[in-house]
Amino acid sequence: MRSRLAQWSSQLSDFMSRVPPWTPLPHRRRGRAAGCPHAHTLVHGGAPRSYTTRAISHGPWSRQRRGRGAALAVGVLLTWLVSVPGPIVAQDTPPPPEAAATMAAATAPQVTLEHEKFGPATVTIRAGTTVTWVNNDGDLHTVTSSQGLFASPGLDPGDTFAYRFTAPGTYPYFCAVHPHMKGTILVQ
Protein backbone atom coordinates (compact mmCIF):
# COMPACT_ATOMS: atom_id res chain seq x y z
CA MET A 1 0.00 0.00 0.00
CA ARG A 2 2.76 2.37 0.90
CA SER A 3 4.57 1.73 -2.35
CA ARG A 4 1.42 2.64 -4.23
CA LEU A 5 1.12 5.78 -2.19
CA ALA A 6 4.73 6.58 -2.95
CA GLN A 7 4.06 6.04 -6.62
CA TRP A 8 1.05 8.31 -6.42
CA SER A 9 3.10 10.87 -4.58
CA SER A 10 5.78 10.69 -7.22
CA GLN A 11 3.26 11.15 -10.01
CA LEU A 12 1.70 14.11 -8.29
CA SER A 13 5.05 15.66 -7.49
CA ASP A 14 6.12 15.27 -11.06
CA PHE A 15 2.92 16.88 -12.24
CA MET A 16 3.05 19.69 -9.73
CA SER A 17 6.66 20.46 -10.57
CA ARG A 18 5.37 21.57 -13.93
CA VAL A 19 2.68 23.80 -12.45
CA PRO A 20 3.58 27.42 -11.64
CA PRO A 21 4.05 27.95 -7.92
CA TRP A 22 1.13 30.37 -7.77
CA THR A 23 -1.72 29.08 -9.82
CA PRO A 24 -4.94 31.06 -10.13
CA LEU A 25 -7.94 28.88 -9.46
CA PRO A 26 -10.95 28.95 -11.70
CA HIS A 27 -13.96 29.74 -9.58
CA ARG A 28 -15.91 26.60 -9.03
CA ARG A 29 -19.61 26.21 -9.12
CA ARG A 30 -21.74 24.02 -6.97
CA GLY A 31 -21.68 20.42 -8.02
CA ARG A 32 -18.82 20.65 -10.45
CA ALA A 33 -16.04 18.55 -9.04
CA ALA A 34 -13.32 19.87 -11.23
CA GLY A 35 -12.73 21.38 -14.56
CA CYS A 36 -10.31 22.34 -17.18
CA PRO A 37 -9.02 25.89 -17.36
CA HIS A 38 -11.82 28.21 -18.34
CA ALA A 39 -11.49 31.11 -20.64
CA HIS A 40 -13.32 34.12 -19.32
CA THR A 41 -14.08 37.21 -21.25
CA LEU A 42 -13.44 40.04 -18.90
CA VAL A 43 -13.92 43.71 -19.32
CA HIS A 44 -11.34 46.10 -18.00
CA GLY A 45 -11.17 49.71 -18.93
CA GLY A 46 -14.16 49.27 -21.18
CA ALA A 47 -12.58 46.79 -23.58
CA PRO A 48 -13.44 43.10 -23.42
CA ARG A 49 -10.44 40.79 -23.40
CA SER A 50 -9.91 37.12 -22.79
CA TYR A 51 -7.51 35.25 -20.63
CA THR A 52 -7.32 31.78 -19.24
CA THR A 53 -7.25 31.26 -15.55
CA ARG A 54 -4.47 28.71 -15.72
CA ALA A 55 -1.92 30.42 -17.89
CA ILE A 56 -1.75 34.16 -18.05
CA SER A 57 -1.62 35.01 -21.70
CA HIS A 58 0.16 38.18 -22.57
CA GLY A 59 -0.86 37.98 -26.20
CA PRO A 60 -4.16 39.83 -25.91
CA TRP A 61 -2.41 42.70 -24.19
CA SER A 62 -0.28 43.80 -27.08
CA ARG A 63 -2.89 46.40 -27.96
CA GLN A 64 -2.89 47.57 -24.39
CA ARG A 65 0.86 47.92 -24.38
CA ARG A 66 0.74 49.98 -27.52
CA GLY A 67 -1.90 52.04 -25.78
CA ARG A 68 0.38 52.55 -22.84
CA GLY A 69 3.15 53.59 -25.16
CA ALA A 70 0.89 56.20 -26.63
CA ALA A 71 -0.15 57.28 -23.15
CA LEU A 72 3.49 57.60 -22.20
CA ALA A 73 4.13 59.77 -25.22
CA VAL A 74 1.18 61.95 -24.27
CA GLY A 75 2.48 62.05 -20.72
CA VAL A 76 5.88 63.22 -21.91
CA LEU A 77 4.20 65.83 -24.05
CA LEU A 78 2.06 66.95 -21.14
CA THR A 79 5.11 67.19 -18.94
CA TRP A 80 6.73 69.40 -21.52
CA LEU A 81 3.60 71.49 -21.92
CA VAL A 82 3.08 72.16 -18.24
CA SER A 83 6.77 72.86 -17.84
CA VAL A 84 6.42 75.87 -20.10
CA PRO A 85 5.06 78.90 -18.27
CA GLY A 86 1.85 80.29 -19.63
CA PRO A 87 -1.83 79.31 -19.84
CA ILE A 88 -1.44 76.27 -22.07
CA VAL A 89 -3.35 73.42 -20.55
CA ALA A 90 -7.11 73.66 -20.67
CA GLN A 91 -9.07 72.73 -17.56
CA ASP A 92 -12.63 71.49 -17.33
CA THR A 93 -12.97 71.72 -13.59
CA PRO A 94 -13.33 75.24 -12.22
CA PRO A 95 -10.70 76.11 -9.63
CA PRO A 96 -11.73 76.68 -6.02
CA PRO A 97 -12.74 80.28 -5.21
CA GLU A 98 -9.59 81.12 -3.28
CA ALA A 99 -7.52 80.34 -6.34
CA ALA A 100 -9.68 82.19 -8.84
CA ALA A 101 -8.22 85.62 -8.15
CA THR A 102 -4.77 84.55 -9.24
CA MET A 103 -5.79 82.45 -12.19
CA ALA A 104 -5.29 85.16 -14.77
CA ALA A 105 -1.56 84.85 -14.41
CA ALA A 106 -1.35 81.16 -13.61
CA THR A 107 -1.48 77.90 -15.51
CA ALA A 108 -4.11 75.33 -14.73
CA PRO A 109 -2.23 72.06 -14.79
CA GLN A 110 -4.02 68.77 -14.40
CA VAL A 111 -2.70 65.44 -13.20
CA THR A 112 -4.54 62.31 -14.23
CA LEU A 113 -4.70 59.19 -12.04
CA GLU A 114 -4.77 56.14 -14.25
CA HIS A 115 -3.49 52.56 -14.03
CA GLU A 116 -2.20 53.30 -10.54
CA LYS A 117 0.02 56.13 -11.77
CA PHE A 118 0.02 59.89 -11.53
CA GLY A 119 0.46 61.35 -14.99
CA PRO A 120 2.52 63.35 -15.45
CA ALA A 121 4.41 62.27 -12.37
CA THR A 122 6.24 65.60 -12.16
CA VAL A 123 4.62 68.95 -12.83
CA THR A 124 6.41 72.30 -12.74
CA ILE A 125 4.32 75.36 -11.98
CA ARG A 126 4.60 78.94 -10.84
CA ALA A 127 3.78 79.90 -7.28
CA GLY A 128 0.10 80.66 -6.88
CA THR A 129 -0.99 77.97 -9.31
CA THR A 130 -3.73 75.49 -8.55
CA VAL A 131 -3.15 71.90 -9.60
CA THR A 132 -6.15 69.68 -10.22
CA TRP A 133 -6.01 65.92 -9.96
CA VAL A 134 -8.60 63.82 -11.80
CA ASN A 135 -9.15 60.16 -10.91
CA ASN A 136 -9.67 58.41 -14.23
CA ASP A 137 -8.79 55.03 -12.72
CA GLY A 138 -11.24 52.35 -11.69
CA ASP A 139 -10.04 52.28 -8.09
CA LEU A 140 -10.04 54.51 -5.05
CA HIS A 141 -7.06 56.84 -4.72
CA THR A 142 -5.89 59.81 -2.71
CA VAL A 143 -3.56 62.74 -3.29
CA THR A 144 -1.61 62.95 -0.05
CA SER A 145 1.33 65.25 0.63
CA SER A 146 4.44 63.44 1.86
CA GLN A 147 5.10 66.55 3.98
CA GLY A 148 1.64 66.63 5.53
CA LEU A 149 0.74 69.77 3.59
CA PHE A 150 -2.45 68.48 1.98
CA ALA A 151 -4.48 65.31 1.83
CA SER A 152 -7.46 64.62 -0.35
CA PRO A 153 -10.28 62.42 0.86
CA GLY A 154 -10.74 59.12 -0.94
CA LEU A 155 -11.24 59.91 -4.61
CA ASP A 156 -13.66 57.61 -6.37
CA PRO A 157 -13.49 57.26 -10.15
CA GLY A 158 -14.34 60.62 -11.71
CA ASP A 159 -13.64 62.62 -8.54
CA THR A 160 -11.25 65.56 -8.61
CA PHE A 161 -9.08 67.29 -6.04
CA ALA A 162 -7.41 70.69 -6.32
CA TYR A 163 -4.69 72.40 -4.30
CA ARG A 164 -3.10 75.80 -4.72
CA PHE A 165 0.66 76.01 -4.24
CA THR A 166 1.67 79.43 -2.94
CA ALA A 167 5.38 79.07 -2.14
CA PRO A 168 8.27 77.88 -4.31
CA GLY A 169 9.61 74.46 -3.44
CA THR A 170 9.42 70.73 -4.11
CA TYR A 171 6.23 69.02 -3.02
CA PRO A 172 6.23 65.20 -3.19
CA TYR A 173 2.94 63.38 -2.77
CA PHE A 174 1.57 59.85 -2.98
CA CYS A 175 -1.63 57.82 -2.85
CA ALA A 176 -2.37 56.69 0.70
CA VAL A 177 -4.15 53.57 -0.57
CA HIS A 178 -1.41 52.66 -3.05
CA PRO A 179 1.80 54.22 -1.72
CA HIS A 180 3.82 53.13 -4.75
CA MET A 181 1.88 55.81 -6.66
CA LYS A 182 4.06 58.90 -6.33
CA GLY A 183 4.23 62.33 -7.87
CA THR A 184 5.97 65.65 -7.39
CA ILE A 185 4.94 69.26 -7.87
CA LEU A 186 7.85 71.65 -8.49
CA VAL A 187 6.86 75.21 -7.68
CA GLN A 188 9.10 77.94 -9.09
Partner 1 sequence: MTDDTIRAQHDHTHSEPPAGGLTRRHALACMAWAGTGLVWTLAGGLLSSQTLGQAAAAQPAAGQPARGDFAFVQISDTHIGFKGEANPDVIATLHLAIAKINALQPAPAFLLHTGDLTHSQKAGAFDTLAEILKSVKTSQVFYVPGEHDVFLDGGKEFLNRYGQGTTGNGWQSFDYQGVHFIGLVNVLNFKAAGLGSLGPDQLDWLKNDVARLSSSTPLVVFTHIPLWAVYPTWGWVTEDGEQALGMLKRFGSVTVLNGHIHQILQKVEGHITFHTAMSTAWPQPAPGAAPSPGPLKVPAEQLHHVLGIRDVHYVQGQHSLALVETPLG
Residues 112-141 that bind partner 1 (CB under 8 A): 115-117, 137-140
Q: Which long-range contacts (CB under 8 A, 24 or more apart) does 152-155 make?
A: 155/113
Cα-Cα-Cα-Cα dihedral sign, residues 45, 48, 52, 58: negative
Q: How far apart are CA 4 and CA 117, in angstroms?
A: 54
Residue with Cβ nearer partner 1 (1 or 104): 1
Between 76 and 115, how does the x/- string for binding to partner 1 read (CB under 8 A)?
A: ---------------------------------------x
Tell the smallest beta-carbon distance from residue 130 to partner 1 (Å): 23
One-letter amino acid at 47 equals: A
Contact pick of 107, 129, 135, 142 for partner 1 (by CB under 8 A): 142
H helix or E strand, kind and range, residue 182: strand 182-187
Closest Cα partner for 115 from 33, 159, 180, 36?
180
Cβ atoms of 184 and 125 within 8 Å: the answer is no
Residue 27 has φ and ψ, to the nearest 5°, of: -80, 125
Cβ–Cβ < 8 Å for 105, 128: yes
CB 134 within 8 A of CB 171: no
- Which is closer to partner 1, CB of 141 or CB of 164? 141
> What part of residues 52-71 is at the interface with partner 1 (CB under 8 A)?
53-54, 56, 58, 61, 64, 68
Please give the residues from 145 up to 184 whose contact with partner 1 meets the rule CB under 8 A: 153-154, 156-157, 174, 176-182
Residue 28 as a binder of partner 1 (CB under 8 A): the answer is yes
Q: Using the minimum distance from each CB to partner 1, give the nearer residue, 99 or 181.
A: 181
* Residues lying near partner 1 in the complex (CB under 8 A): 1-2, 4-5, 7-9, 11-13, 15-16, 19, 21-37, 40-45, 51, 53-54, 56, 58, 61, 64, 68, 115-117, 137-140, 142, 153-154, 156-157, 174, 176-182
